[in-house]
Structure 1
Amino acid sequence: MIPQFEMELSDPRLPEVAQLIAELSAEMAGLYESEDGSGHYQPEDGLPPRGIFLVGRRGNELVACGGYRLMEPGVVEIKRMYVRPSSRGLGYSRRILSELEARARQAGFSRTRLETGDRQPAALALYRGAGYLPVPPYGVYENNPHSFCFEKEI
């Protein structure tokens, strides 16, 4: 029997969660040789009132994560979306993204934004498939030739 996928709010500073985020950062650093892979994310960004952070478990194993952080009134930025390689292709990223959008909407936000890179075709397909539309690069991504930025009304 395949264990069920469960999502829950978490503290991104917890060792198990921080390890998952570190795996994502290492993967991004490998894809974009000159970056540290952090995506300009600070764990405090995933804590109320600045944001939230979700983890996904399959059984007892932590396999996915994602969060959002406040950008400006009415707008949050989706950050640190990740699924461990052994759990990819099972729809977990779409479930995390949908849950983040629902929680942002419930919290009174009207838009989500995000950034991903040109070397992440699965992420690009996920966001486009979820209804995200391209926007000009913003903030720290303005001069990054690898960045693709998106926005969605929620």
Structure 2
Amino acid sequence: MTSTIVEVDFLDPRAVDLRARMAAEMSGLYGAPRHVGAEDIDPASVVSCLLVLDGETPVGTVSLRRLGDLVEVKRMFLLPQTRGTGLAPRLLAAIEGRAGAVTDRVVLHTGERQRAAIALYERSGYRPIEVYPPYDQVPESVCFAKSLAPPTTT
């Protein structure tokens, strides 16, 4: 698979479709959403949205948003057929690169049943932190943070 990662608008229909597929997958994993509102994203809060293309076909997405004083990685999703190909670490590194332009620390939220995601985050240098709002209302929440290298000046 030859893939490219491009920046798109958060409301790009291809990214919206992938986030809908993620929501369906998460509903299968956790059941019907019980905590409506905890996952809402105001498009105005989005700093960056990336799309992974295999040729012209969208196969993954991730976003970065401001959540109060935090900068948060959101909605990282790859289609099942792309998992295990090394694309996830590439996509995570790409969004961290965007984050480095606006912060020296990123946070993220996932669920305790998403073992592969948790393993990826831990391998990528994320460390567990206390669950932060609004996810403190979601019992299966797991949160992580990663310090980013400060930008170098020349």
Tell me the number of residue pairs that the alignment of Structure 1 and Structure 2 aligns.
147
Question: Which residue, out of 92, 101, 118, partners 1:124?
Answer: 118
RMSD of the TM alignment (CA)?
1.9
The higher relative CO (CA closer than 8 Å, separation ≥ 6) is in: 2
Letter in 1 for 2:53: R
So what's the TM-score if we normalise by structure 2?
A: 0.87
Q: 1:30 to 1:138 in 2, by over 3 A?
A: same
Q: For each residue in 1:79-109, what CA deviation from the matched residue of structure 2 results, as whole angstroms up to 9, or x when unmatched?
A: 000000111111111111101111111x231
Letter in 1 for 2:21: E
| Partner of residue 40, structure 2 | 41
Identity %: 34
Structural mapping, 1:138-153, within 5 Å: 138-153=132-147
Structural mapping, 1:51-130, within 5 Å: 51-73=47-69, 75-105=70-100, 107-130=101-124
Q: 1:120 to 1:112 in 2, by over 3 A?
A: same
Letter in 2 for 1:92: L
Q: Distance in 2 between matches of 1:92 and 1:65?
A: 11
Q: CA deviation at 1:43?
A: 5.9
Provide structure 1 residue ranges, at least 5 long, that are not aligned to the other structure: none
Letter in 2 for 1:88: R
| Partner of residue 152, structure 2 | none
| Partner of residue 7, structure 2 | 9
Letter in 2 for 1:145: P
Q: Distance in 2 between matches of 1:26 and 1:135?
A: 27
Letter in 2 for 1:40: E
Q: Distance in 2 between matches of 1:33 and 1:76?
A: 28
Question: Which residue, out of 18, 21, 31, partners 1:20?
Answer: 18
2:62 and 2:73 in contact (8 A); partners too: yes
Provide structure 2 residue ranges, at least 5 long, that are not aligned to the other structure: 149-154
Task: Report SS of the residue matched to 2:137.
Answer: coil
Q: Distance in 2 between matches of 1:43 and 1:59?
A: 30
Letter in 2 for 1:125: A
Q: CA deviation at 1:42?
A: 2.5
Q: Distance in 2 between matches of 1:38 and 1:86?
A: 30
